[in-house]
């Protein structure tokens, strides 16, 4: 175990984040054996608050964001935990819709570090920072904790807390090195968040994996599935949609996030024993927004879509939204993509899905250790119109300069690709 000295300069959040990056031998270390004693020491494992835990391959961020926005609109004191962050680490921990300040995080990190030392255990970056979020939610006496699982479910640190309601957004092939190489193996890991006698929402549009059904049955958990126990339908004008479950039909605005994820969040709210009005649900839907989830922006009079889809399932979902967008905005006839990916992702499948839609590809290397090489990208993109740049920012600048009024720019392939463009835009302000 690395017993590196804790930061003395406790007024700098970055010092603590650097510290947590080095305390444990690996960045990802699935399993709860080391986490549980520290969580017990911190007395955070049995919160008095209601807990909603959300797992799934894609859509977790949109679902948790919508859930928190709805519950905040109802006037509840909501603690929202998500990952990863985009600009600032503070984005991972929100209270009543606002990012926590540096000092609140630092104070929580001090407590987590003291607890792990008492237990003589090391924690990974993700474990330590997640426990710190729970410390904050307990101290701030949140009414509801909305928790997004980082990786899998069963062995993820978020799963040290027993939820009152579990949500599984969907199951796709991703993180196969960690979670297994089949849908059923991955579903088994995600189903690990299910507890005895609680409601479980399954929002995936594919056939429900047997592993989820089996776990719900073992736990005597009531399972609610989309298109079986609840339904949603978009209106013809695309401005409103209907939510229906047994004996209930409700009409809501469409919001800025994907309807599939909004409806999953609404189903969770309806099934919870929290008393939430229809007005609060509508207000929360309208307010919920999340960077990088089919995010449409006007930049220098050009339409740019940012989407963090980085696996086949996520990209299928992106294409579904893109087709709908193009249907309503017929002036756009061509798509130019700023594209880069991580080397351990299924690049070939992602390109195969996108290539019938993307006219021109502008690729560049990412500045992270797991970045795909230009050779990998070129191999996947053979026979496509490809232009290579030294960095993502240069690729984006080129797209802004060259695109016509009938072209839209799609930034996709990885959160890191989006992050590079966002950083560039911030510098330009």
- State pLDDT tens for residues 98-156: 999 999 999 999 999 999 999 999 999 999 999 999 999 999 999 999 999 987 678 88
Look up the pTM and report it. 0.81
The whole-angstrom separation of Cα 308 and Cα 198 is 31
- Of the pLDDT bands very low, low, confident and very high (cuts 50, 70, 90), residue 30 is low
Among 101, 107, 126, 168, which Cα is nearest to 27's?
A: 126
The answer as to whether 382 is a domain residue is yes
Q: In this structure, is residue 131 part of a structural domain?
A: yes
What is the C-alpha separation between 398 and 338, in angstroms, rounded? 10
Q: Residue 396 belongs to what domain range?
A: 293-426
Q: Is residue 31 part of a domain?
A: yes
Q: With 70 as the cut, is the pLDDT of residue 281 above it? A: yes
Domain boundary, last residue among 245, 260, 285: 285
How far apart are alpha carbons 120 and 114 in whole angstroms? 10
Rounded distance, CA 201 to CA 224, Å? Answer: 5
CB 55 within 8 A of CB 193: yes
Q: Which of 285, 304, 330 is the last residue of a domain?
A: 285
Q: Mark which of 235, 269, 285 sits at the end of a domain.
A: 285
80, 201: one domain: yes
CATH number at residue 122: 3.40.1190.10
Convert 280-312 to b/e letters by CB count within 10 Å (16 or more is b).
bbbbbbebbebbbbbbeeeeeebbbbbbbbbbb
Same domain, 17 and 140: yes
- Please report the pLDDT score of residue 4 as a whole number: 61
């Amino acid at each position: 175990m690395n017993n590196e000295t804790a930061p003395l300069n406790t007024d700098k959040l970055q010092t603590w984040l650097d510290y947590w990056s080095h305390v444990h031998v690996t960045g990802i270390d699935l399993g709860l054996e080391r986490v549980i004693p520290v969580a017990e020491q911190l007395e955070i494992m049995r919160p008095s608050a209601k807990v909603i835990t959300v797992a799934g391959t894609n859509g977790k961020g949109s679902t948790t964001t919508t859930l928190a926005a709805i519950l905040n609109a109802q006037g509840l004191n909501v603690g929202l935990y998500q990952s990863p962050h985009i600009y600032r680490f503070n984005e991972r921990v929100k209270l009543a819709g606002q990012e926590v300040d540096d000092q609140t995080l630092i104070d929580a990190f001090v407590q987590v570090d003291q607890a792990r030392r008492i237990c003589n255990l090391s924690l990974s970056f993700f474990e330590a920072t997640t426990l710190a979020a729970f410390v904050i939610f307990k101290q701030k006496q949140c009414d509801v904790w909305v928790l997004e699982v980082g990786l899998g479910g069963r062995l993820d640190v978020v799963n040290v807390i027993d939820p009152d309601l579990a949500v599984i957004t969907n199951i796709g092939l991703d993180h196969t090195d960690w979670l297994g190489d089949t849908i059923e193996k991955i579903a088994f890991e995600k189903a690990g968040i299910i507890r005895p006698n609680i409601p479980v929402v399954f929002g995936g549009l594919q056939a429900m994996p047997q592993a989820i059904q089996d776990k719900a049955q073992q736990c005597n958990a009531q399972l609610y599935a989309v298109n079986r126990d609840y339904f949603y339908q978009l209106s013809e004008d695309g401005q409103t949609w209907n939510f229906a479950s047994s004996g209930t039909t409700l009409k809501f605005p469409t919001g800025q996030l994907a309807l599939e994820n909004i409806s999953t969040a609404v189903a969770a709210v309806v099934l919870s024993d929290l008393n939430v009005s229809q007005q609060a649900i509508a207000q929360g839907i309208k307010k919920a927004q999340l960077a990088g989830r089919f995010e449409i922006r006007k930049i220098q009079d050009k339409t740019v879509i940012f989407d963090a889809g980085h696996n086949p399932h996520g990209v299928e979902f992106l294409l579904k939204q893109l087709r709908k967008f193009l249907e309503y905005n017929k002036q756009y006839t061509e798509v130019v993509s700023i594209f880069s990916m991580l080397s351990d992702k299924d690049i070939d499948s992602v390109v195969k899905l996108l290539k019938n839609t993307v006219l021109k590809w502008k690729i560049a290397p990412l500045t992270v250790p797991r970045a795909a090489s230009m050779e990998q990208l070129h191999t996947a993109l053979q026979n496509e119109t490809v232009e290579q740049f030294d960095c993502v920012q240069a690729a984006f600048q080129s797209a802004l300069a060259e695109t016509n009024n009938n072209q839209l720019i799609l930034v996709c392939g990885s959160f890191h690709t989006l992050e590079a463009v966002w950083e560039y835009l911030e510098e330009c302000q």
